[in-house]
Structure 1
């Protein structure tokens, strides 16, 4: 579900995709403004469409990561603290993602709003978003991949556990 949502977002962003990537962690208001001002009209339109479409994406990935955390804790021993972090981090990331979209749309409406402070705000929200998404995703993958490979191994004739 996460990857389907991510792919749909990339598709919607279209010609604005490279700007979207450049703006994720932009070091200054001047750099942010430069990226926006150098967009073609189509790329600017696609970038804005991407931000608008991105309001559903955080909810989808937060739900998917939360469901995965619950399932992993049913299958493997997971400490209460780790489980709490795995459940909370996606919600924090989704909140940061939505806030980042609001800030970016607000700045794109009037480039005079792009300052070092607003660009930094957007960058911090992006960093929180990525940390709260990628961290749990990596942890969950570390837990699920051995289970999935084990299930495949057990179903393939001639592929035993012993060498």
Structure 2
């Protein structure tokens, strides 16, 4: 069984409202190369977080977030994989072996397809096997994505 060990990438990349910690900054409770300095007292957001590296079978040690420089999770939205990338390595997700697997996950012809959303430095990209669609600055709006009638991928924010 995999464990977090000394990783702590979630302690850097996640926003933790209970601690007033913004995304992409180290948590004040994180002890470098050790882990959470207040593990028993950590906020609910930390307790509830599930890193896909820990839960998905078949992801080798190369996918450990502190090695890959990104973390993968599903959030609360079914059918969406979220890849949060360390701002110090913004292109890490496009390196091999990661990029080929991310593209494979984005194939909507699978029995259980995923929308793959990559977040880097406040910007959002929706990944398809044939294209990466840059949506620009991340917004607190729903996203609609898929294929148009000409079978071209699309992704856009939906303004209500």
TM range (shorter): under 0.3
- Please state which structure has a larger fraction of its residues in strand: 2
Larger radius of gyration: 1
> What TM-score, normalized to structure 1?
0.25
